[in-house]
Amino acid sequence: MEPNPHQLVQEKVRKLVDRIQGLPTLPVMMTNINQMILNPRTSPKEVAHVISNDPSLTSKVLRVVNSSFYGFPNRITTITHAIVILGFNTIKSIVLSSTIFDVFRRTVKPGDFDRTQFWKHSIGCGAAAKAIGRRLNYPMLEELFIAGLLHDVGKIVMDQYMPEKFAEVISVVHSRDCLIAEAELQVLGATHAEVGAWLFEKWNLSKGLIETTRCHHNPALAGENQKLAEVIHLADILIRAMRFGNGGDNKIPAISETAWRSLGLQHSDFDDLFVQTNAEIERAMVFLDFIK
Amino acid sequence: MKLVKTDEARIGQKAARDVIDLRGNLLFKAGTELSAELLDICKQRTISHLFIEDSGGDTPKSPVDVQAQRESLLKEIDRTFAGLEGNATMTALKDASQRYLTAKLIK
pLDDT at position A170 is 93
- What letter represents residue B43's amino acid? K
Same domain, yes or no: B67 and B38:
no
The lowest-confidence range among A136-145, B14-23, B70-79 is B14-23
d(CA A149, CA A235): 10
Is A285 within 8 Å of B20 when comparing Cβ atoms? Answer: no
d(CA A248, CA B55): 29
Is A66 within 8 Å of B46 when comparing Cβ atoms? Answer: yes
A60 and chain B: CB distance < 8 Å anywhere? no
Q: What band does B57 get if pLDDT is binned at 50, 70 and 90?
A: very low
Q: Residue B20 belongs to what H/E stretch?
A: strand B19-20
Same domain, yes or no: B82 and B100:
yes
B24 and chain A: CB distance < 8 Å anywhere? yes
The lowest-confidence range among A119-133, A148-162, A197-211, B32-46 is B32-46
Q: What band does B93 get if pLDDT is binned at 50, 70 and 90?
A: very high
B28 and chain A: CB distance < 8 Å anywhere? no
pLDDT at position A4 is 67
B87 and chain A: CB distance < 8 Å anywhere? yes
Give the sign of the dihedral formed by CA B71, CA A255, CA A226, CA A179: negative
Q: Residue B16 sits in a domain of what CATH number?
A: 3.90.105.10
pLDDT digits (tens, 9 = 90+) for A49-58: 999 988 888 9
Same domain, yes or no: B77 and B53:
no
A2 and chain B: CB distance < 8 Å anywhere? no
Q: Identify whether the C-beta of residue B61 lies closer than 8 Å to the C-beta of residue B31.
A: no
Q: Which CATH number fits domain A107-292: 3.10.690.10, 1.10.3720.10, 1.10.3210.10, 3.40.50.300?
A: 1.10.3210.10
Same domain, yes or no: B21 and B49:
yes
Choose one of B58, B73, B88: the last residue of a domain.
B58
> Chain B closest CA to A191's CA: distance in Å?
20
Q: What band does B55 get if pLDDT is binned at 50, 70 and 90?
A: low
Structural domain spans, chain A: 24-103, 107-292
* A76-98 mean pLDDT: 92
pLDDT at A1 over 80: no
The lowest-confidence range among A132-136, A185-189, A215-219 is A185-189
Single pTM value for the model? 0.81
pLDDT at A45 over 50: yes
Q: How far apart are the first and last CA of chain A?
A: 51
Same domain, yes or no: B50 and B87:
no
pLDDT at A199 over 80: yes
Same domain, yes or no: B49 and B74:
no
Domain count, chain B: 2
**Residue A14, CA atoms < 13 Å, CB-side half-sphere:** 6
pLDDT at B90 over 90: yes
Residues 6+ apart with CB under 8 A from A187: A165, A168, A169, A172
* A223-231 mean pLDDT: 97
DSSP B71: H
CB atoms < 10 A from the CB of A164, how many?
6
Task: Compute the mean pLDDT over every residue in chain A, rounded to the nearest whole number.
Answer: 90
Same domain, yes or no: B31 and B45:
yes
3-state helix, strand, coil in chain B (%, to 5): 50, 15, 35
- What letter represents residue A266's amino acid? Q
> Chain A closest CA to B59's CA: distance in Å?
25
pLDDT at position A242 is 97
Is B93 within 8 Å of A237 when comparing Cβ atoms? Answer: yes
Kind of pairing between the strands at B19-20 and B2-5: unpaired
pLDDT at position A108 is 72
Q: Which domain holds residue B39?
A: 2-58
DSSP A250: S
Q: What proportion of chain A, given as a percentage, has pLDDT over 70?
A: 95
